[in-house]
Structure 1
Amino acid sequence: MKLFQRLLVAPAALGLMAPLAANADVTAVSNDSDLSSEVIQARVDGVEAQLGEIQAGQFSSSTKMSGKAAFITGYVDDDSESDTDSITMEYMYQLNMNTSFTGEDLLYTRIKAGNVSDHFVDKGQGTYLSAGKNTSDALKVDKIWYQFPVGESLTVWVGPKIENYYMLASSPSIYKPITKQFSLGGNGTVYGSSTKAGFGAAWTQQTDDPSDGRWALSAAYTSQGGAKSSKDQGLFGEDAKSALLTKLEYGTPQWQVSGAVAFKDNGWSDSYFTTAKGKSRDSGSSETAIGLRAYWKPDNSGALPSVQLGYDVSSIDDAGTGNADEASGWMVGLNWKDLFIDGNRAGLAVGSRVAATNIVGGGSDPSEDNSVWEAYYSFKVNDGVTVTPAIFGSTDVEAEGKDVTGAVLLTEFRF
């Protein structure tokens, strides 16, 4: 953007120099000050008109763009399949557009492209990378919403492409994940969401001192049928898969505890359960999910890590025989900021992906006792480039006895 702006400003600068030079010539051959001032004013008016035309072709001054690119080099070894340990190199590219019309509101648009495929976008076995995206190399609108304040304490969101966890007073997690399963304090049932049409609001208690504890309450509604005009679909159709999330939190900038409840209707599915039994939803089933989160971070970076805890439990009504009607999962995440070198970061997370704890009609989920983990260290090369080697793995995910291990070298360019 800086180069683009300079290219626009250069012609204007040259245009400004031209009338000044012309004015010098006029002054040299004429002692008529009135005539000289008229010539100068005419030239200045011409320059202003040209600048107006140039500025009309720019982004609005209220629009800011940022972005990042990720190079993903790595492999996944899945012992239940053959020839899955090949080393691959893939990419993800993202642009963020932030526009404000009043100085307090925000129109957010995220555009993404990528060719990440196979394991690195597999939700089921826990190898989906936070940097993963597959658009078959097409540049697509990934998120778009509008948010605005109502008074000092309330914020409102509405958009055709948004997820429930963007419509919260604050994030339930401070852990920086490599695999998506550890995002949001455990990306399982409560905060697992699809990018669909939705709206929400969040109230935050105002305090005199920003370091004081404060309460916040958020509510968000999303519909997987929000863009469908067919019968009984749309935002509130009888057959539209919908989800309502509420979150109550209390804390300070250093720590927070929160509880959230999500109600999901008409067979809403996030594909984050670890087993085929857990993924299955009858078209008329509904789910109530409860999520508990807590985090703490030290005053000073270094030896002491920040700590993130998460626990999810779900109850599914009207589940068919052989499908899950109860499920749970948990995670613990640690981050060390400025470890060894200022700007570098280390991370370690362990947990159990959401799996069925009860099956309708009897039986058990082979992955009920699954375990997942990840570890990484990020090197900050400079303000725009970060290199992160990471390893991750799981046991009994999707099937009993199924072990998965993987490694990735993630290089991110931010601009």
Structure 2
Amino acid sequence: MKLFQQLLVAPAALGLLAPVAANAADLNINGVSDYASDEDIEQVTSITQFSDVYPTDWAYQALANLIERYGCVAGYPNGSFSGNRAMTRYEAAALLNSCLDSVTELTDDLARLIKEFERELSIIRGRVDGLEARVGELESSQFSTTTKLKGRTSWFLGAVRAKGDAGKLRKEYNADYGATVFSYDLALALKTSFTGKDLLFTRLRSGNSANAFGGAGFPITSLDYPTNTATEVRLGRLYYRFPVGSNFTVVAGPRMRNTENLGYKPSAYTAGGHPQLDLFSGRLGVPMVWNKATGGGFGVTYKSTSDKGDPYLTVAANYVAASANNGDPNSGGFMTDNAKGSITTQIAYGNKKWGVAAGYRYGQCDVSYGRGTEFARRNAFSQACQYSEATGDFDAAGNAIMTDKRSNADSNSWALNAFWRPSESGFVPSISASVGQSYLGGNYNYNTVDTFASWMVGLQWSDVFLMGNDMGFAIGQPMFAAAMDKGTPDDGNYAMELWYEFQVTDNISIAPGVYWLSRPMGELTPDDKSLGIFGGVIQTKFLF
């Protein structure tokens, strides 16, 4: 059908194009004559049939799409399109009607296909209805439409033994902690989101590791996962995190942890696999900054914008008070002198393949450091906020009168972390390293200790023997006294571990491992004597 002939049977399309009746003078008689003069012209099937249309024309692609997809563009008998020529409303109506005819043909084809596959479509429709019913049932029976529950339970089977020629100390330690134990840890995480970008995080925790794997005897023997709640279920975390703009994230809550809100974890040794000692995994070898302070607090994280996979910058700072829920200003409070507060900051740059970070933490009195030699623990893990001092006066019985004074104790700590992982698994492992120091302040005598230090290097291999199985080895020195007012401390102690994780299924793994502490008592080790701790454990982890 020619365009002019189509015009005669397209009153509906004409009405849409012309809100008022067209004047006869608007009709391009020459154009109509051109369309109607050649009875042999056919519909254009390719844009290349037009002699005056070129790829450089601004509407070239749009015209090509109309021809190839809908076949509703015609040209003049001379083979031209005359794209710059003025068009009458009659011609526009005729072209629109041609396109409507093509759409009608497509609709007819679609109806034919629907009828031809009516049986198959009916089966699919029934399955969709069944799925909708099942989804509706799940939604009606679930406890929350905004919350996801994720769980982890770990079992620990193993023992520790003291070695060395410090006979009395060795026997006492083995008598108290040397039995084979079988304990557990259970963590249930509730992740709630109200907008899709925020997170209300609640974690319930239970465990019974009242043994060396939980830090009894020497805290440095503690593994990463174990906890001891005497089998009671306790609240481990409760905080709310939400974005502000596209680069900032704010977090606040009565039960948050400083190291979980630094925006970036600069270690490959803690990602995947199953490291043993808490010193190497949860605290990244630098417990002075990564001390895992937990309590009431708030923080903010900045993350720069970058393309996926490219390095990015993060800057984070938070404040956490371990005694935030204590209403006695002499021993607790929130943002008070006795709050046991930690101000932790970190600046990091990297991606999943490599990264570097610098961290700093200011600690108030009574803030715990975590993992170190026994000498370091007794001198720095509990920096008393007050101490007693004689006034110079005596009571009626002749006893010296004492007065409590504020120690003004605090600490300033720094840490440097870096890691790199190969592009493909193989003989070359990922490498993680860290080093840090802490400086004590105040007018309290901490056995003349001024400075503490620690470091570690961790290696991890992926897909060892079987796909998905990892192996790791780490060595370092837990926090030890590095400087004193007088003399040189002999507080050195080396820690090392070796483990292999066998991935049974996607949600079950078994990880046997061993670790060795060469001198956990440090400076307190008797002269000319040795005392080391050997530990072996099989950890089984279930994720659900």
TM-score class normalised by the smaller sequence: 0.7 to 0.9
Give the structure 2 partner of residue 354 of structure 1. Answer: 479
Say whether the 8 Å CA contact 1:266–1:286 is kept in structure 2.
yes
In 1, Cα distance between equivalents of 2:305 and 2:183: 45
Give the structure 2 partner of residue 75 of structure 1. Answer: 159
Q: Is structure 2 residue 122 aligned with structure 1 residue 122?
A: no
Say whether the 8 Å CA contact 1:259–1:291 is kept in structure 2.
yes
Q: How does 1:73-112 map onto structure 2 within 5 Å?
A: 73-79=157-163, 80=170, 81-83=173-175, 84-112=177-205
Say whether the 8 Å CA contact 1:92–1:131 is kept in structure 2.
yes
Say whether the 8 Å CA contact 1:125–1:398 is kept in structure 2.
no
1:180 is paired with a residue whose SS is coil
Say whether the 8 Å CA contact 1:277–1:365 is kept in structure 2.
no
Q: Is structure 2 residue 157 aligned with structure 1 residue 63?
A: no
In 2, Cα distance between equivalents of 1:212 and 1:72: 39
Give the structure 2 partner of residue 230 of structure 1. Answer: 328
Give the structure 1 partner of residue 352 of structure 2. Answer: 253
In 2, Cα distance between equivalents of 1:220 and 1:107: 17
Deviation at 1:323, TM superposition (A): 4.5
After superposition, the C-alpha distances for 1:142-199 in whole angstroms (9 at most, x for unaligned) are 1111100011111111111111111111112221321101024214110103321111
Say whether the 8 Å CA contact 2:286–2:436 is kept in structure 1.
no
In 2, Cα distance between equivalents of 1:406 and 1:296: 29
Q: Which residue of 408, 414, 417 maps to 1:290?
A: 414
Q: Which residue of 383, 395, 409 maps to 2:538?
A: 409
Say whether the 8 Å CA contact 1:220–1:246 is kept in structure 2.
yes
In 2, Cα distance between equivalents of 1:321 and 1:216: 36
Q: Which entry has the higher C-alpha Rg, 1 or 2? A: 2
Q: How does 1:181-330 map onto structure 2 within 5 Å?
A: 181-183=279-281, 184-207=283-306, 209-231=307-329, 233-274=332-373, 275=375, 276-283=378-385, 284-318=408-442, 319-330=444-455
CA 1:125–1:139: 2 relative to 1, 3 Å: closer
Counterpart of 2:184, as a letter, is Y
After superposition, the C-alpha distances for 1:127-152 in whole angstroms (9 at most, x for unaligned) are 11112110000011111111000111
After superposition, the C-alpha distances for 1:338-389 in whole angstroms (9 at most, x for unaligned) are 11111101010000001111234x24444x2210000000000011110000
Counterpart of 1:378, as a letter, is E
Say whether the 8 Å CA contact 1:334–1:347 is kept in structure 2.
yes
Deviation at 1:62, TM superposition (A): 1.7
Counterpart of 1:169, as a letter, is G
Give the structure 2 partner of residue 35 of structure 1. Answer: none
Deviation at 1:58, TM superposition (A): 2.9
Counterpart of 1:345, as a letter, is D
Q: Is structure 2 residue 506 aligned with structure 1 residue 383?
A: yes
Counterpart of 1:228, as a letter, is N
In 2, Cα distance between equivalents of 1:273 and 1:357: 12
Q: Is structure 2 residue 257 aligned with structure 1 residue 163?
A: yes
Q: Is structure 2 residue 224 aligned with structure 1 residue 149?
A: no
Give the structure 2 partner of residue 21 of structure 1. Answer: none
Say whether the 8 Å CA contact 2:214–2:223 is kept in structure 1.
yes
In 2, Cα distance between equivalents of 1:324 and 1:174: 33
In 1, Cα distance between equivalents of 2:379 and 2:457: 25
In 2, Cα distance between equivalents of 1:150 and 1:357: 42
Say whether the 8 Å CA contact 1:302–1:340 is kept in structure 2.
no
Counterpart of 1:336, as a letter, is W
After superposition, the C-alpha distances for 1:268-301 in whole angstroms (9 at most, x for unaligned) are 2234232223434231311000000000011112
Counterpart of 1:242, as a letter, is G
Give the structure 1 partner of residue 47 of structure 2. Answer: none
Say whether the 8 Å CA contact 1:278–1:355 is kept in structure 2.
no
In 1, Cα distance between equivalents of 2:427 and 2:504: 21
In 2, Cα distance between equivalents of 1:334 and 1:321: 36
2:212 is paired with a residue whose SS is helix
Say whether the 8 Å CA contact 2:475–2:495 is kept in structure 1.
yes
In 1, Cα distance between equivalents of 2:446 and 2:195: 54
In 2, Cα distance between equivalents of 1:96 and 1:223: 22
Deviation at 1:55, TM superposition (A): 5.4
In 2, Cα distance between equivalents of 1:235 and 1:269: 17
Counterpart of 1:227, as a letter, is N
CA 1:75–1:323: 2 relative to 1, 3 Å: farther
If each structure's strand is expressed as a fraction of its own residues, which one has the higher value?
1
Count of residues paired in the alignment:
362
CA 1:169–1:321: 2 relative to 1, 3 Å: closer
TM-score (norm 2): 0.64
| Structure 2: runs of 5 or more not aligned | 1-132, 164-169, 386-407
Deviation at 1:403, TM superposition (A): 0.4
After superposition, the C-alpha distances for 1:187-246 in whole angstroms (9 at most, x for unaligned) are 411010332111111101102x22222211000111122111112532111222111011
If each structure's helix is expressed as a fraction of its own residues, which one has the higher value?
2
Say whether the 8 Å CA contact 1:355–1:365 is kept in structure 2.
no
After superposition, the C-alpha distances for 1:45-70 in whole angstroms (9 at most, x for unaligned) are xxx9xx79x95663222211111111
In 1, Cα distance between equivalents of 2:142 and 2:222: 38
